[in-house]
Homo-oligomer: A and B are copies of this chain.
Amino acid sequence: MKETPSLRERKKAETRKRISDHGSMLFYERGFDEVTIGEIAEAADVSKVTVFNYFPRKEDIFFDRIPELVDLVTETVRGRRPGEPVLSALRDMLVRHAREGHPLGGIDDRFVHFFRVVIGSAALRARAREIADELEAVLAALIDESGEGLPGRLTAAMLVGAFRSAYLTAAARQLAGERAAGVLADHVAAVDLAFEVLERGLAGT
């Protein structure tokens, strides 16, 4: 799969990373809205146009790893053990990532700063909601194609809604000063509850 990291590709990846890294660093220091594209370009030693070349919108510089998140969900569903229900595969994945403090899981002391930046910017909050929508659509399609007979749209909407709510609650508590360790237990419980409700509710369909 990964065989030709041709020089061109490597340089591109490196430039992209440099922009994203310098951008994120500035955002962490001063907040999303207080940093201009020009400053990022300068910090990354790149022209302003090049920034837009890699990131069509400013928000994408910060939310750089979303594609990985979509892939993660897709792989979780498509690559589940034969016979395992979609929902149980998703539940396991989500709980595991939270427990391991995986970057995309979100429950970890390091991510307080990440949350602070997002909460502090209307543009980033808006983009985050948009991303949740995209995830919901992907998930709905995956559920439909899984052949378990679940109503994809409804299931995805409820699941994304519930998880997002739990995630935000956990983030708010961490922002309020609680340590990740303390928040984690409740968060896992909230996720478990969400899946229980969903599974029980869908059982009679």
Contact = CB atoms under 8 A, between A and B. Distances in A.
A154 B200 contact: no
Contact of A161 (B126, B151, B160, B204): B160
B193 A154 contact: yes
Interface string A188-205: 001001101111111111
Given A126-B126, A129-B129, A161-B161, A154 B201 contact: no
Nearest to A163: B157
Contacts of A126: 126, 129-130
Given A158-B162, A200-B201, A204-B200, A169 B153 contact: yes
A47 interface: no
A60 interface: no
A133 interface: yes
Main secondary structure of the interface of A (DSSP, over half): helix
A80 interface: no
A121 interface: no
A149 to B, nearest CB: 13
Nearest to A205: B197
Q: How many copies does the complex hold?
A: 2
Contacts of A166: 153-154
A102 interface: no
A120 B151 CA distance: 28
A50 interface: no
A165 interface: yes
A48 interface: no
B202 A197 contact: yes
B193 A151 contact: yes
Interface string A117-143: 000000001100110010010000000
11 contacts: A125-B130, A129-B130, A129-B133, A136-B165, A151-B193, A156-B165, A157-B162, A197-B201, A198-B201, A200-B204, A201-B202
